[in-house]
């Protein structure tokens, strides 16, 4: 057992006022803390300065998942009680995996009448029938409708802002809690490192001779869950669906051959690339991953990492500590706190070189 196995080693104190409740405008106006792993030096920049730190021949890899309107509210048909929940994924055609909370015990066969989203303003209703209770408080449920899942979520779901944003979702979140390049629907949380990119910034990156590629990982509820055990080795990692395309594999291999670097935008991109690489040769692949990257870890694909600032004792903080070192990351976090950087999903970013 290594010393780094203790979860308490990944604790830090964050003033509540540094938890970003709204994003900065424009997107690339956010700050960028540049961490040099070799020297330990820090540079304080803006995100739009990113091209300064990239070189011709490098490859930027983004996660093009699209956040769905996963937050649901409804009324229990048999009690009239309020139910609040989250759509997690479509388990099979017409069957949802959900998680929710209500007063009293839910029973299989019970129905919930979903309330129209405040963002959609629809007067329609739809009923959700609970099929079976699953592990971790999750349920399988069946919407009593032939309407496709994404259309139902558009009409009845709200933006699934993280719990530390202590406010209801607003119309502006429809656009801002989504990357500008989001493509494949399925995430219940945004791949937040990508929120800082604008079309103009991508243009500046391409003009410098830097290529861009994409993966897909549908960010799940587990991204909000703290590690609830004392040892990292005891933690059960959540599973998420991801995909690595033939085109992205080709671009990575070409980058390697020309001596370029692979820069991952976000921990979800890292987990996708390293999930496939850990199976052997990098190849096109899709499936569920539950990879838990923790120190010590030998990164096989990623050379540099762009990431936001993460929660204490979270698997994401552990991942970035595996990429640099725990001492380096916690020292950088302390500097960010002193400089009043904004933390978490709508906060600022780091470039770890």
Give residue for tokens 């595996």: 322
Phi, psi of 276 (to 5 degrees): -70, -45
Are residues 98 and 57 part of one domain?
A: no
pLDDT value of position 122 = 59
pLDDT value of position 118 = 65
SS (HEC) of 161-204:
CCCCCCCCCCHHHHHHCCCCCCCEEEECCCCHHHHHCCHHHHHH
In a domain, 163, yes or no: no
Residue segments in the chain with a per-residue pLDDT below the cut of 70: 1-4, 118-123, 224
The count of structural domains within the chain is: 2
Residue 318: CATH number of its domain? 3.40.1780.10
- Would you say 352 and 35 are in contact if contact means Cβ atoms under 8 Å apart? yes
| Residue partners of 253: CB distance under 8 A and separation at least 6 | 282
In a domain, 50, yes or no: yes
Distance CA 45, CA 43 (A): 6
The two structure tokens encoding residue 344: 């978490």
In a domain, 82, yes or no: yes
Are residues 227 and 81 part of one domain?
A: no
Are residues 317 and 185 part of one domain?
A: yes
pLDDT value of position 228 = 86
Residue span of the structural domain in which 254 resides: 3-67+174-352
Last residue of a domain, one of 95, 130, 156: 156
Per-residue pLDDT tens for 120-143?
655 578 999 999 999 888 999 999
Last residue of a domain, one of 129, 156, 183: 156
The two structure tokens encoding residue 287: 């499936």
In a domain, 102, yes or no: yes
In a domain, 166, yes or no: no
CA quadruple 329, 221, 103, 131: dihedral, nearest 10: -160
pLDDT value of position 2 = 47
In a domain, 162, yes or no: no
Are residues 187 and 121 part of one domain?
A: no
């Amino acid at each position: 057992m290594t010393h780094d196995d203790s979860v308490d080693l990944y604790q830090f104190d964050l003033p509540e006022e540094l938890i970003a409740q709204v994003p900065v405008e424009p997107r690339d106006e956010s700050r960028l803390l540049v961490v040099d792993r070799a020297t330990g030096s820090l540079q304080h920049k803006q995100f739009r300065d990113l091209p300064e730190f990239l070189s011709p021949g490098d490859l930027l890899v983004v996660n093009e998942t699209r956040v769905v309107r996963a937050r649901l509210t409804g009324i229990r048909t048999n009690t009239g009680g309020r139910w609040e929940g989250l759509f997690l994924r479509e388990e099979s055609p017409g069957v949802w995996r959900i998680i929710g909370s209500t007063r009293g015990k839910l029973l299989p066969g019970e129905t919930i009448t979903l309330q129209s989203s405040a963002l959609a303003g629809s007067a329609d209703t739809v009923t959700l029938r609970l099929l079976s209770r699953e592990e971790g408080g999750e349920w399988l449920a069946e919407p009593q409708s032939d309407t496709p899942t994404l259309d139902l979520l558009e009409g009845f779901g709200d933006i699934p802002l993280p719990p530390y944003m202590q406010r209801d979702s607003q119309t502006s979140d429809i656009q801002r809690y989504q990357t500008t390049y989001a493509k494949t629907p399925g995430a219940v949380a945004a791949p937040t490192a990508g929120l800082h990119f604008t079309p103009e910034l991508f243009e500046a990156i391409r003009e410098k001779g830097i290529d861009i590629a994409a993966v897909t990982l549908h960010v799940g509820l587990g991204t909000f869950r703290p590690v609830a055990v004392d040892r990292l080795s005891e933690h059960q990692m959540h599973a998420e669906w991801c995909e690595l395309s033939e085109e992205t594999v080709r671009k990575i291999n070409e980058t390697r051959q020309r001596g370029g670097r692979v820069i991952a935008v976000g921990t979800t991109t890292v987990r996708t690339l390293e999930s496939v690489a850990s199976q052997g040769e990098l190849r096109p692949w899709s499936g569920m991953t539950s990879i838990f990257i923790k120190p010590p870890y030998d990164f096989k694909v990623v050379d540099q990492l762009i990431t936001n600032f993460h929660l204490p004792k979270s698997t994401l903080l552990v991942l970035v500590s595996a990429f640099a070192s725990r001492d380096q990351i916690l020292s950088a976090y302390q500097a960010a706190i002193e400089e009043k950087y904004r933390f978490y999903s709508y906060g600022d970013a780091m470039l770890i070189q």
